[in-house]
Structure 1
């Protein structure tokens, strides 16, 4: 199958390129970059030299649509919504790693993203690509809205508890930390070395654009409106997300009972690993991989459930999940091209 990547110079794109290069059923036909067209990939990312000899190209939707079956969009928000409709009309399937098609409500999108929403007819076609949860919908999709990194970690951690009706849906606190690669490759004072090194800071309290995405998916699963308290932090590491989730149990459960529940829920999902009692995952243990590792603890004294969910933000939180969705879309084994053991140490 022939595929293309639009937005070829970001961290998400270079992760896609790495995984696609090792995928047995895929040929990477084109890498599209508006800012770097005519430039060899290896001159932007020297680590790809000899492995991937490709020159980035300018976008011509009409000609590209004739030679590829699927396009990955590794673009910033507010870009893909103007490009995807023409690909869809030309019969090309699309997987969008930006947020342009994740929210069902145009009002919500415009409020949180401060930009005009995509045409509603295409938003209605989009399938939310949380791979472990919406496989049936993904199989028949023309357009997949790949989830954000924080939502992937949070939702995989929370959905089994939500579906099992064991927690108070109105009392969910998410304390999440990300490495600096989540900010992208563009220059920013916020992630400047002297600003970030030996530092640890919270940001976008109550206004992070992943909040409505998390709430939307949790509402789908709970069947009732709900809100979460979400506080993101940036920490001085390159990759990784840890979401520490606090909520109140509404039924008496032990840690072992909830672990058994989670292991049963994800028993057919090879990329979600639920840890045994007393073992809490760390970000290093999923580094460079498509795994989501989950740890569970019940505090008998307070009646609270703590869920620890860790992912690599560039893989399971972006490109790896996009490849996983492509596998589901084509009826391939979900692990195809993604079987890498995490990099450790």
Structure 2
């Protein structure tokens, strides 16, 4: 299969290339970057000069339709919604790593993204690509809305107990931290070295664009409306997300009972790993990999369940999950091209 990447100079794109390079069923033929058209990809990322000898191009849907079978969109929001319809109508499969097709509610999209939503018929076609939860819907889909990084770590941690009606649906508290690569490659004061080094800060409290996405996914799992308290933080590390969640158990449960529930829930999903009692995951333990590692603690004193979920925001939170979805769409083994061990230390 021939594939293309649109938005070719960001961190999401270079991670896609890292994994696609060793994928046995895929050839990366085209990298599209409007701002760098005519420039060799290796000029932007010199460490790939001997491996990816591709000149970046401008977007041309007619040319793409002749050359490729599937396109990854590693673009900012408000880009893919204008280009994907042109490709879908020509029979090209698309996986969108931006947020343009994730939300189903028009008003929520405008509120959190500040823009008009994509055309309704394409929103209806889009399958939300949380690989472990929507596996059957992803098979044969033509348009995948790849989940956000915070939503991936958070929903994989919460869905098993919500789907099994084991926790109260109110007062779900999510305390999440991300490395600076989550802000993308563009320069900003928020991620400037002297602003971020030896610093730790909360941001976008109450209005982060991943709030409605998380609530949409959890509401479907719980089969009722879910609202969350979500506080994101940025920490001085390059990669990684840790999402720590606090929920109230409906009935007394031991940590081992809950671990057994999670192990059973994810037993057919190789990229979700559940830790044994007393062992909690660290972001370094999934660095550079497509794993989501989850640790659990049932607090007998307070009746709360504490869930710790970690991912690499650029892999399971973006490009790795996109490739996992490509594998599922095409009936390939889900782990194809994604079996690299985490980088440690």
TM over 0.5: yes
Partner of 1:162: 162
Matched with 2:172 is 172
Structure 1 position 184 matched with structure 2 position 184: yes
2:22 counterpart of 1:22: yes
Q: Report the equivalent of 2:129.
A: 129
Task: Spell out, residue by residue over 1:220-265, the C-alpha distance to the aligned partner (whole angstroms, 9 max, x if none).
Answer: 1111111000000000000000000001000110000000000000
Question: CA–CA distance in 2 between the matches of 1:73 and 1:190?
Answer: 25
Q: How does 1:304-315 map to 2 (within 5 A)?
A: 304-315=304-315
Alpha-carbon deviation of 1:43?
Answer: 0.8
Alpha-carbon distance, 1:140 to partner: 2.1
Distance 1:335 1:222 in 2: 28
Structure 1 alignment gaps of length 5 or more:
none
Distance 1:47 1:156 in 2: 34
2:35 match: secondary structure: coil
Q: Partner of 2:237: helix, strand, or coil? A: coil
Q: How does 1:242-321 map to 2 (within 5 A)?
A: 242-321=242-321
For 1:226 and 1:281, how far apart are their aligned partners in 2?
A: 26
Q: Distance in 1 between matches of 2:58 and 2:309?
A: 39
Q: Does the 8 Å CA contact 2:140/2:330 hold for their aligned counterparts?
A: no
Counterpart Cα distance in 2 of 1:54 and 1:121: 34
Tell me the alpha carbon deviations over residues 182-212 of structure 1, each in whole angstroms, 9 at most, x when there is no partner. Answer: 0000000000000000000000000000000
Q: Which whole-Å CA distance do the structure 2 matches of 1:183 and 1:112 have between them?
A: 17
Q: Distance in 1 between matches of 2:344 and 2:251?
A: 38
Q: Deviations over 1:291-321 (max 9, x none)?
A: 0000000110000000000000000000000
The Cα shift of 1:47 comes to 1.3
Structure 1 runs (4+) deviating above 6 angstroms are none
* C-alpha distance in structure 2 between counterparts of 1:307 and 1:28, whole Å: 38
Number of residue pairs matched by the alignment:
345
> Structure 1 residue 67: deviation in Å?
1.3
Tell me the distance in 1 between the aligned counterparts of 2:106 and 2:81: 12
The gaps in structure 2 that reach 5 residues or longer are none
- In 2, distance between residues paired with 1:65 and 1:161? 43
* RMSD over equivalenced CA pairs, Å: 0.5
Partner of 1:152: 152
Could you tell me how far apart the structure 1 residues matched to 2:281 and 2:49 are?
34
Structure 1 counterpart SS, 2:294: strand
What is the TM-score with the length of structure 2 in the denominator?
0.99
Deviations 1:248-285 (Å, cap 9, x if unpaired)? 00011000000000000000100000001010000000
Q: Distance in 1 between matches of 2:33 and 2:157?
A: 35
Alignment of 1:328-339 (within 5 A): 328-339=328-339
How far off its partner does 1:106 sit?
1.3
Q: Matched residues in 2 for 1:54 and 1:86: separation?
A: 24
The CA distance in 2 between the partners of 1:226 and 1:336, in whole Å, is 35
Report the alpha carbon displacement of residue 65 of structure 1 after superposing the two structures with TM: 1.1
In the alignment, what sits opposite 1:48? 48
* Partner residue, 1:229: 229
Q: Measure, in 1, the Cα distance between the counterparts of 2:190 and 2:171.
A: 31
Any idea what SS the aligned residue of 1:141 has? Answer: coil
User: 2:206 — aligned with what?
Assistant: 206
Structure 1, residues 40-82: CA drift from partner, whole Å, max 9, x if none?
1111011111011111111111111111100000000000000
1:143 matched residue in structure 2: 143
- What CA distance in whole angstroms lies between the structure 2 residues aligned with 1:117 and 1:16? 26
